[in-house]
Structure 1
């Protein structure tokens, strides 16, 4: 992981007005006069609280401008290290929809922020607006980029967001995700007070550009135009006056889903376009029958007799990989394998055209380089897939970031992905069913309905075999693939027969890559893209025993995390002729969650490792001290884990924090907490387009029947889910339960039924653990007993099977002893 220090008052390197107000600027010759508290805002000196669209001014490709990201020409030659979490923001076309953020203030000595005012309605107001150069609003499409153009409405305090004091800052905490691709103006008002009861005042810079009289320099005029556009738009609704505004700043939320939507569109036309890959699930025929019981014996796992009634097959599907292959075997070699666009950013193209026209207008035609617009090999696809809007100019936009302007990903390779297939094996299964006085099965005329199974992080597709018996007893076939960099999809760079990167057998960082957050984001997107490809490929198996028109989905842990993106794109109408080729009828999720960065930091299982890794990379005094601690004091208690870096750091980090607490090192602890806040902001912003929270509203709107279970514990010995916390402390919309709420799931504790339409339900379990949907064994770290875990597994599987069998019309809850409100 690279050194990471993202200041929330980021050095923006913006040219603008000087005059940011600091205590040194204030001449306090009269002691009784206490200087005013002000908003910290001085773009000329790089003092801008983020998120703020001023960092998108003069964008080169439609992404955020991070200082130091580009060389002097700024158009085509990158020099950014996008593995740096703060620099990774420069690959995004907007800000996070969900991460809490803050606006910094300047407080004179002996004065503080009035806590009550910071948490009161009206101190902070947020307005949804349409910005200039809009892609969706014709009226605003011609307005200047970076200027607010039209008011949509105001968000509601207490429903959409809350605020609170955070030191010398006011924190803004979303209670719902902001809309992807939409823009908002944050406004601080005179209702924000200091401890003396005085209203916070604008910075001298803001007060200067707020005025109507034109300023002098081009930079001043640009900033003045932006600020006045914000204020003029928000007051246009009549709910606030200019006199009340002490600060305003626009933020545009990054696009979510445009790239995956493009991938679905490419799949949809792939059968007619030979230039595109069209996945087909191949299931070889065999003269012998292999059962899941035999496979489980091979894997040296428990193999109850019921699994002898489930047939096991191994197939494959060719899927386009948008992640590139690392060139070396070190962890840093993964850093630049993130997705890239196939085409040149139209923003970069327009800027180059404007630069060339300027040279012509100045009589410097000889300086124009005509080869910049020579087309590359992807020109036909860029043109065809964008209705002529995009081009492949290899010399323009070498960064090739995927944005709402440039959403076509570049295929790096074609992967032959193993597919696990199970089906009811009637000769044995019906005998077992008869012995249990359960009605026997006959394969439906159209074939067995299919359930796509998706496993959790560090797991494999074979782990999902544990639920195949319960599904086979109800007449379901299943298919499953490994996530990228898991199981049989590990990466052997040097060809020695051993995977150099595999999250199942090695480090979790091979997938959830903290050393390059863009790679972590794109592993999530690749997982969703793979599921779309698998679902599409099921239509062309040639296997008449599978009903590809009746497909459901079960996801556990990471499988449940990527599910909302997959289901959203699978079920969003595209074309009536192909919609059925993607449709997922019913969905069941176990132990998922949203707000990935937040819940990772607070995860009992992964949190200590994540926090320890972040601290080691932060480059602070505490980083060096913790590195020394790992080599010295930690050895005595954690040395037993020395061979496993993840386990060793997980053990040592809590001990290090405890030692600081015991020593009363409050300043160091505060510094470390600041590092975690900075990392959470950067990480969640980067991960947003792969985060399920941003697809929750779409899942709710689609009304696809969806069941979800979460282990919340019993308040005594059995703890809540120790991997993905049901709720988090620092982000009210992160964790399992907020995701369920945002998806519109109804909490239930008893059986449910519907005569007409499928419903969506959440069931909370008092017993069991994170893996209970598959694993009936006890988990001492979660306080889950053998009896409670076994009961939870049985009940979870029964609930899932009843829900899928009825296509969401019925949910059977039998053992209420393991279910809680």
Structure 2
């Protein structure tokens, strides 16, 4: 109000000017007025920077309201429509915890953002708050949803986040993930300046609604109430005044754990509830076969003789599948196979009840559909699994998005999955231990062999993990492995003709990491974690007494490392003392993993060009059409035929981008980067609940011992490069990549052997030699600059470190070849 009165006073003073000056004199003596730079904010006309909780206003089911989610007649769009990257955000109950974001500004001609102010402390401040309609804070439960309620604290610039200029916007870059399920208010202050040294001004809309002035329309009043609640909350701490604020906007971070946590509860409940099948690993009698013989059948020879001391078996386990089956053979047919809720969202139920009540109060009872609250077949389960909170009303909440309000996923099928089992063959293993390694002989423990669950990487298969079994057998471990969904023996054969139509191991990586439907990609990640939970439980009910299924550890490579934090977090989070031991994972080894999936995919030397090329092809911009035409021209003849293979797209994109650089097409390059930034924001937001970054702090808090290795390279020109698949660090996101994930999990970097401790410790080892798959193969890799000698040394050392770490359950670590590790 004071600002408005001030501007009125200036107007009055000018109008009252007298004396000898004429109006023309005033005009001539007055310097030209340059319009102010302002924050872009006009929600009524769709001008709003995201993330912003105003897009949660009026939510039908507790998810973000994205324009286009409802058809012209107000009906929800079909599930397949959420394949659109922007629309996919409408399936989420909040925003990303980790992706950088921008708040847009507008500038008059010849004026720009003062970059030094944009990157200085105080220009942007972020406050953690409790919002109205809180499920966890009784004081805020009755406050209207969407309104700020209570101040919890302020984030620290340079520790929790940084900011910088980004064109006509200020970019906010998290240095730590925001807390899942928590709410924050972003505040821009008068410390943010333009190139003339003037403070950026609020938009006219924000200036209007932030003042305590009478407004007319309901939408104005509602926006005024929300904005005032934001400013009242952040100023309640006394560190900022309303006069300092030029913009405030709330963002609620999406929930991460509730759905996978519910799956663990369902698995535990299956022990008592016959309606919920219990997974059980069954290993039938079979002829003796060694891993050496398996490799020989694949034409692989020249292996360590220890592989002759590893028994190979095949078992099975039946896993609940939450992914539905596609009806066609194109990648686009996977678009609506993502997870859905078993029950109706309670938010949707409340909205329907309110709508019916409004009709009653208006005397329009005849317009109420009496069948809306007819129950469906899942009503007993919804009621029983939610302590009476959830219902199955088939006509309410057709989309059934999974949220913190509605966390019970629907089981689409039960899938019998092959389990690969290996065990030590004592006579051979003991000969190697005593004659070659100078170790004492082994005996099988009274309770059986401890078990290592192993999980392979993307486009790989469980059989590739056999490369680790000799080192593990020497240390007295059995192993158990399954394929990721849509990999190996778990490909999808739509028409049952014996040939997989979708298989990331033998076909396109998009069958799993689906860029055409980000929700499918997210739920493949969640299905991988859910499968590991079910496998871990199922091991307890195996018919093989030679396995000690109460002593289980884990190894993941690449994608196996990416899904591990979600799996281990749920496995080791206490639930019930009677079942906790059935899920327990004692220690973990991760090879070549990383977090911030969207960021590391875009910057991956291996996958990045394919991802960026695929994104550009589907972006619908003029550059998209130009890129397609370029790929079909003779300019990319060295890329092979212009077909939609990953190699063709990758090579073509690299050639096209290089040609634009050479021609100085800066506008086109900027447009392409804009597309990638938009995709990164949408993709990371959609993938967040499956991203390991969001489980890292839980791993640290649980105290689960974790070992991780990362190839960082030797830093020499034309030398051994860093991991070319998952980069150790990314340029555009400081908390994406391998090293940030290790840091967030609390791992200590070591270069020397670590003496035994009473409790497990967590370590990171950085390798200067080797490549992404060195943990499995000593083969050189020209693209990574990894020589035969360096690769072989890395493989030997990595396997030694993993085996010695796991055999001590994380209490010690042996590092022998210190020449290929660095701090």
The bucket for the TM-score relative to the shorter chain is: over 0.9
TM-aligned CA deviation for residue 113 of structure 1? 0.4
Deviations 1:22-50 (A, max 9, x none): xxxxxx99871100100000111100000
Is the Cα–Cα contact under 8 Å of residues 708 and 742 in structure 2 kept in the other structure? yes
TM-aligned CA deviation for residue 755 of structure 1? 2.8
Partner of 1:3: none
Partner of 1:190: 190
1:423 has 2:419 as partner: no
Deviations 1:332-391 (A, max 9, x none): 101110000000000000000010111111111111111110100000110011100000
Partner of 1:774: 776
Q: Distance in 2 between matches of 1:660 and 1:76?
A: 41
Deviations 1:558-609 (A, max 9, x none): 0000000000000000111100000000000000000000000000000000
Deviations 1:152-181 (A, max 9, x none): 000000000000000110000000000000
Q: Distance in 1 between matches of 2:351 and 2:76?
A: 11
Q: Distance in 1 between matches of 2:65 and 2:479?
A: 46
Quote the RMSD (CA, aligned, Å).
1.3
Is the Cα–Cα contact under 8 Å of residues 60 and 74 in structure 1 kept in the other structure? no
Is the Cα–Cα contact under 8 Å of residues 632 and 642 in structure 2 kept in the other structure? no
Is the Cα–Cα contact under 8 Å of residues 69 and 79 in structure 1 kept in the other structure? no
Deviations 1:641-663 (A, max 9, x none): 65671001111111101101111
Indicate the larger mover: 391-400 or 750-759. Answer: 750-759
Q: Distance in 2 between matches of 1:562 and 1:633?
A: 42
1:797 has 2:799 as partner: yes
Partner of 2:113: 113
Is the Cα–Cα contact under 8 Å of residues 76 and 395 in structure 1 kept in the other structure? no
TM-aligned CA deviation for residue 80 of structure 1? 7.1
Is the Cα–Cα contact under 8 Å of residues 85 and 679 in structure 1 kept in the other structure? yes
The structure-2 alpha-carbon separation of the partners of 1:540 and 1:148, relative to structure 1 and needing over 3 Å to count, comes to same
Is the Cα–Cα contact under 8 Å of residues 336 and 519 in structure 1 kept in the other structure? yes
Secondary structure of 1:810's match? coil
Is the Cα–Cα contact under 8 Å of residues 131 and 148 in structure 2 kept in the other structure? yes
TM-aligned CA deviation for residue 212 of structure 1? 1.2
TM-aligned CA deviation for residue 634 of structure 1? 4.0
Alignment of 1:499-510 (within 5 A): 499-510=500-511
Secondary structure of 2:171's match? strand
TM-aligned CA deviation for residue 542 of structure 1? 2.4
Alignment of 1:705-744 (within 5 A): 705-716=705-716, 717-744=719-746
Partner of 1:311: 311
Alignment of 1:38-187 (within 5 A): 38-72=38-72, 74=74, 78=78, 81-187=81-187
Is the Cα–Cα contact under 8 Å of residues 71 and 79 in structure 1 kept in the other structure? no
Partner of 1:296: 295
Partner of 2:821: 819
Secondary structure of 1:752's match? coil
Deviations 1:282-323 (A, max 9, x none): 11123x211111111122223432111000000000000000
Secondary structure of 1:696's match? helix
Q: Distance in 2 between matches of 1:193 and 1:432?
A: 71
Partner of 1:36: 36
TM-aligned CA deviation for residue 426 of structure 1? 1.2
Partner of 1:574: 575
Secondary structure of 1:753's match? coil
When the two structures are aligned, how many residues end up with a matched partner? 792
Is the Cα–Cα contact under 8 Å of residues 592 and 736 in structure 1 kept in the other structure? yes
Partner of 2:321: 321
1:370 has 2:402 as partner: no
Q: Distance in 1 between matches of 2:346 and 2:731?
A: 41
TM-score (norm 1): 0.95
Partner of 1:235: 235
Is the Cα–Cα contact under 8 Å of residues 770 and 790 in structure 2 kept in the other structure? yes
Q: Distance in 1 between matches of 2:172 and 2:76?
A: 36
Is the Cα–Cα contact under 8 Å of residues 443 and 475 in structure 1 kept in the other structure? yes
Partner of 2:3: none
Deviations 1:119-162 (A, max 9, x none): 00000000000000111111111100000000000000000000
Q: Distance in 2 between matches of 1:71 and 1:60?
A: 14
Is the Cα–Cα contact under 8 Å of residues 34 and 108 in structure 1 kept in the other structure? yes
TM-aligned CA deviation for residue 432 of structure 1? 3.0
1:606 has 2:607 as partner: yes
Indicate the larger mover: 134-143 or 303-312. Answer: 303-312
The structure-2 alpha-carbon separation of the partners of 1:84 and 1:792, relative to structure 1 and needing over 3 Å to count, comes to same
Indicate the larger mover: 617-626 or 434-443. Answer: 434-443
**Rg (Cα) greater in structure:** 2
Q: Distance in 2 between matches of 1:31 and 1:604?
A: 54
Partner of 1:515: 516
TM-aligned CA deviation for residue 277 of structure 1? 2.1
1:535 has 2:536 as partner: yes
Q: Distance in 2 between matches of 1:393 and 1:51?
A: 31
Partner of 1:441: 442
The structure-2 alpha-carbon separation of the partners of 1:83 and 1:542, relative to structure 1 and needing over 3 Å to count, comes to same
Partner of 2:11: none
TM-aligned CA deviation for residue 78 of structure 1? 4.8
The structure-2 alpha-carbon separation of the partners of 1:276 and 1:75, relative to structure 1 and needing over 3 Å to count, comes to farther
TM-aligned CA deviation for residue 439 of structure 1? 1.7
TM-aligned CA deviation for residue 431 of structure 1? 2.7
Partner of 1:451: 452
Alignment of 1:370-769 (within 5 A): 370-436=370-436, 437-639=438-640, 645-716=645-716, 717-769=719-771
Deviations 1:658-685 (A, max 9, x none): 1011111110000000000000000000
Which blocks of at least 5 consecutive residues in structure 2 are unaligned?
1-26
Deviations 1:450-478 (A, max 9, x none): 00000000000000000000000010000
Secondary structure of 1:49's match? coil
Q: Distance in 2 between matches of 1:431 and 1:223?
A: 77
Is the Cα–Cα contact under 8 Å of residues 727 and 738 in structure 1 kept in the other structure? yes
Q: Distance in 1 between matches of 2:665 and 2:687?
A: 33
Secondary structure of 1:550's match? strand
Deviations 1:374-428 (A, max 9, x none): 1000001100111000000001110000000000000001000000000001132
Secondary structure of 1:243's match? helix
Partner of 1:21: none
Q: Distance in 1 between matches of 2:289 and 2:214?
A: 80
TM-aligned CA deviation for residue 754 of structure 1? 3.6
Secondary structure of 1:268's match? helix
Deviations 1:228-269 (A, max 9, x none): 000000000111000000000000000001100000000011
TM-score (norm 2): 0.95
Alignment of 1:252-271 (within 5 A): 252-271=252-271
Deviations 1:666-723 (A, max 9, x none): 1000000000000000000000000000001001101100000000000121000000
TM-aligned CA deviation for residue 438 of structure 1? 2.8
Is the Cα–Cα contact under 8 Å of residues 80 and 335 in structure 2 kept in the other structure? no
Q: Distance in 2 between matches of 1:390 and 1:513?
A: 31
Q: Distance in 2 between matches of 1:751 and 1:430?
A: 25
Secondary structure of 1:611's match? helix
Secondary structure of 2:540's match? helix
Which blocks of at least 5 consecutive residues in structure 1 are unaligned?
1-27
TM-aligned CA deviation for residue 77 of structure 1? 6.2
